[in-house]
Amino acid sequence: MTRFAGKVVIVTGGASGIGRAAAIRFAQEGATVFVADLNLAGAQAVASEIGAAAHAVHVDVASMASNQAMVDAVMAAAGRLDVAFLNAGYYGDADGLDTVDEALFDRLIAINLKGTFNGIKAVQPVIADGGAVVVTASAAGVIGHPANPAYSAAKHGIVGLVKSCVTAFAERGARINTICPGGVLTPLIGVPDVAIVPPGDLARVPLRGMGGAQHVAEVALWLASPAAGFINGQAQVVDAALLSTFAPVMLPVGP
């Protein structure tokens, strides 16, 4: 398939995990891809893995100036921007409210929420008519996450931010949506990246199971494609039904 033939795509957080999978898949579907990451060497490795259709660019999403420099570099090199997958994020080391201090809270907000705001602000003035923005939030953006309340707060903020920016993008003929993944096997949780497979060969994820980076990437591609032209301002949960029902209740055993 060549759903993105002739299109120009930015993927932030593209050096690993969901971003890497999406960058590879956008390129396989015909796009010119700019792999953006704070880890420039990692972005360069992914661009090399893809080949001539990909370019690496440095970005610190917490910096507005860095986001603007990223977009300026894309426009200078390619002359247009059709899709932005604003995927960069950070979880941090947290295990309950008492482990989240002010410094970690500030960093989580700066990278996840402010970083999304910076990316949206940078791409909106140049996004092409018919273009699309997809933002990675989290299942923790629609339900609480006791292990990391600051992360959950930032991801809730992303959902509200995306919904609030629909009009600004519609004025340019573009759409914006967010993805809310459940558990995903990526380097963020210590699982190495794996080879990309034909989409039809992706394994079905068991009920409430852990998905792979490519499972989420395929949803990002679909949301960015004309096939999702009726979807705008939505938070698409991708979680193997993790949030669809009450959690199983363990009944007491014995008298």
Give the pLDDT confidence of 213-232 residue by residue, as tens digits: 999 999 999 999 999 999 99
- Based on the number of CB atoms within 10 Å of its own CB, is 51 exposed (0-12), middle (13-18) or buried (19 or more)? exposed
Residue 170 above 70 pLDDT? Answer: yes
Average pLDDT, the chain: 96
Q: Catalytic residue positions?
A: 151
Length of the chain: 255
Please say whether the structural domain 8-238 has been given the CATH code 3.20.130.10.
no
How sure is the predictor about 254, in pLDDT bands with cuts at 50, 70 and 90?
low
The predicted model gives 30-36 an average pLDDT of: 98
Distance of alpha carbon 140 from alpha carbon 235, whole angstroms? 12
Whether 251 shows a pLDDT value over 70: the answer reads no
Average of pLDDT values for 134-150?
Answer: 97
Domain ranges across the chain: 8-238
